Chains A and B, each alone.
Chain A
């Protein structure tokens, strides 16, 4: 069993989002970068499946040198080797192209990633990679078990779940509760230092979109507090001021 997990390198969920250079650049000052939370679920399940099937687990990120600590963390969590495709991830199509190009030769049985990144929230890369490789894609996957060449999955649909079966290989966009996040232990951290982290050059494939500028939403006004003994006032406001009741 060969598993590829694609991870994003994104600002921590609690980061304050700001821009510089006349709103054309993301401001990294004081921002901590993490493995995308959904990717973390994919990685955690991949580690379990690798252990069950005694296969191999590769993690891949399309990013510049600054993303290497994030890849090292994935190695500490349990990946066997890491690949960094050396390029700025300019749009989802560009990233998908790099992943598909790398995965094409690899003979992976399973390609897992998060359902979406938490920076651009596209939720598109898994579907693009699957289409490029001619594989089925399933998202958002909340349960994934293997029975030989067949995978049994559950995916979230509005108001519930849907159970599916699909033969390997395929691409999945993952989310909770597919597995519990794994926290690297000391042994993992030590061994991550010696595991291979290979840098490959990007294939030059054009992106189909480019981001020109950013904008912050207007600041929120102050909350209107209503006395707890006068809930009728809240109902009045919701009905007549907000007009939502």
Chain B
């Protein structure tokens, strides 16, 4: 038996979240005496794909078809289902992401599989197959039992430690059949800020709120982010007012992030904002109001005016780099 891992890639590199999913699958495979196979869709550099080996894949199946470069959900689900059958897998592991979710959902039906999303730990298998998942936007956990033979596990970002110890994996081409109906949804164009670090993937995020007073002050956020090698985010009112693009909006109704470090500047810490960041490993809060609720969720805090603190902090970070 084997465990199949659906891996996503961006700009020629396997995504970090997919490498985490591979590390998770590898640990699961060791526990269950199985082998890990990765499946990658679209044209992508072989060398980059081989790296999946170091995170735990024994081999990588590549379905090399330009049409799969874009994340057309139906087509991806159909390809992964065929790969699952071909390798004789009984478990599919993937990283929780908006594409991953959508693909996994269709696969539950195609594979007759029980699915658990937002997985944060390896399954407990004595007396049933019990998986720990994060629920209520990080406010609690649930233990869910999967009762079907085939299983799908969508792993939450940063929930498992990344292992990079293996060798490169061999990459094999996989032939699959796809029909026109798999491409019923057509992507007409993409509008992507290519020079930015993607928010859901970022390891450090510097985020600004209404306390930054206006878009003209965002250079202070950007300077700190640059010094830290971080992505930038914002609170909802900031993107609602058009100070920042919508895809930077973090929170309950925006992007959910789980970086190692989240720096929140001039953000009050409303519960809806916290819902998007409470999976961060460390939180730093800079706010002039000592009563700001965000301090309760923070590991480190500075009570002070962002306009005074940020330039100093940026210099101090530069000094150690």
A contacts, CB < 8 Å to B: 11, 13-14, 17, 19, 37-38, 91-93, 96, 115-116, 118-128, 130-132, 136-140, 142, 152, 155-167, 170, 173, 175-177, 206-217, 220-221, 223-228, 231-232, 234-235, 237-239, 242, 244-245
Contacts and interface: CB of A to CB of B under 8 A. Distances in A.
B118 interface: yes
B295 A157 contact: no
A118 B136 contact: yes
A17 B101 CA distance: 24
Could you tell me the dominant secondary structure of chain A's interface residues? mixed
A210 B185 contact: no
Residue from the set A125, A175, A221 with the largest chain B CB neighbour count within 10 Å: A175
B184 A136 contact: yes
B302 A159 contact: no
A208 B148 contact: yes
Given A157-B98, A158-B199, A220-B296, A127 B147 contact: no
B312 interface: yes
A242 B261 contact: yes
B102 A160 contact: no
Nearest to B184: A136
Interface residues of B, number: 94
A115 B116 CA distance: 16
B71 interface: yes
Leading 7 A-B pairs by shortest Cβ distance: A127-B105, A228-B304, A208-B114, A160-B192, A123-B101, A124-B105, A131-B106
A14 B313 CA distance: 32
Given A13-B272, A228-B309, A37 B253 contact: yes
B298 interface: yes
Interface string B97-141: 111011111101110011111100000000010101111111111
Nearest to A158: B198
Contacts of A140: 98
B192 A157 contact: yes
B224 to A, nearest CB: 11
Contact of A209 (B144, B228, B252, B301): B144
A161 B115 CA distance: 28
A83 B122 CA distance: 39
Contact of B247 (A123, A156, A231): A156
Given A163-B188, A220-B296, A245-B320, A136 B142 contact: no
Contact of B98 (A37, A120, A156): A156
Given A127-B73, A208-B147, A213-B143, 20 more contacts: A13-B275, A14-B271, A92-B115, A121-B134, A124-B101, A126-B102, A128-B109, A131-B77, A137-B73, A142-B246, A159-B193, A164-B188, A166-B184, A166-B186, A208-B148, A209-B144, A214-B142, A215-B142, A242-B281, A245-B317
B140 A217 contact: yes
Contact of A37 (B103, B117, B252, B298): B252
A215 B70 CA distance: 38
A239 B135 contact: no
B43 interface: no
B140 A214 contact: yes
12 contacts: A119-B135, A120-B117, A122-B101, A136-B73, A138-B102, A139-B98, A158-B200, A167-B184, A208-B108, A210-B147, A237-B300, A242-B261
B297 A208 contact: no
A234 B115 contact: no
B299 A228 contact: no
B303 interface: yes
Given A164-B187, A244-B282, A159 B139 contact: no
Contacts of A161: 190-192, 247
A165 B188 contact: yes
B228 A245 contact: yes
A162 B70 contact: yes
A13 B254 CA distance: 13
Contact of A234 (B138, B141, B185, B300): B300
A162 B187 contact: yes
Given A124-B104, A162-B191, A224-B299, A210 B316 contact: no
Interface in B237-281: 246-247, 252-254, 260-261, 271-272, 275, 281
